[in-house]
Amino acid sequence: MNLTRLSVVGLGVAFLVAGCGGRRSNSKVDFSQMGPSINSKRYANLEKIAARDLKCDVELTPQYLGENRYQMIGCNTEGIYELRCRVGQCAWVPDVRLRAEFDLGCAKSELQTSRLDRVTEGVAGCGKRATYRLLGSGYGYSWVLNSVVAQDEAPAPAPAEEVPVQTTL
């Protein structure tokens, strides 16, 4: 009985190691053009995370942005992810716009980001702006609102040209 159970578990592990564990195919991805830290296992993980975030079941198109940042494109949307590694353990940093979309009440496609430092991003859109701080917990990362959501001031209307009124004496 134990030998049968051990054989089934061993066979399952063999399939997972061989790549038959239900992963999407990434044979179209040229890892030599995708930065120094990416490999097939990390890419499969990115593809799974991005498919969930983007609500997209079709094959995603990756684009390497440099500095371990990747843009995943599919289903008329896109997301930006960053791979961070520490002492051999790597995790994907999610797109800050996914969090800002809720806080700013603005569609992700209308949000612009600015990297302020390694762990801080500014996000602006729909006349609002906020700052986010990256926090690491265990093996994952998440963005936390690090400022009040500020309303951008609308430019003051230009003074209307005064037209002199004609007077009679």
pLDDT tens-digit readout, 38-83: 899 999 999 999 999 999 999 999 999 999 999 999 999 999 999 9
Decide: 117 and 132 in contact? Cβ < 8 Å. no
Decide: 64 and 34 in contact? Cβ < 8 Å. yes
**What pLDDT does residue 19 have?**
46
Cα distance between residue 40 and residue 155, in whole Å: 50
Confidence of residue 21 (pLDDT cuts 50, 70, 90): very low
- The answer to whether residue 35 is domain-embedded is yes
Average pLDDT of the chain to the nearest whole number: 83
Confidence of residue 88 (pLDDT cuts 50, 70, 90): confident
Claim to verify: residue 64 and residue 104 sit in the same structural domain: no
Q: Identify the helix (H) or strand (E) that includes residue 49.
A: helix 40-54
**What pLDDT does residue 158 have?**
58
Claim to verify: residue 52 and residue 103 sit in the same structural domain: no
Claim to verify: residue 74 and residue 55 sit in the same structural domain: yes
Return phi, psi of residue 49, to 5°. -65, -45
Cβ contacts of 39 within 8 Å, gap of 6 or more: 31
Domain residue limits at 83: 21-93
DSSP structure class, residue 149: -
Domain boundary among 73, 93, 113: 93
Claim to verify: residue 105 and residue 144 sit in the same structural domain: yes
**What pLDDT does residue 36 have?**
84
* DSSP helix/strand/coil, 141: strand
Q: Identify the helix (H) or strand (E) that includes residue 133.
A: strand 128-137
Decide: 100 and 128 in contact? Cβ < 8 Å. no
Confidence of residue 96 (pLDDT cuts 50, 70, 90): very high
Structure tokens at 102: 């809720």
Question: What b/e readout covers 19-54, taking b as 16+ CB neighbours within 10 angstroms?
Answer: eeeeeeebeebeeeebeeebeeebbbebbebbbebb
Claim to verify: residue 134 and residue 86 sit in the same structural domain: no
Claim to verify: residue 39 and residue 58 sit in the same structural domain: yes
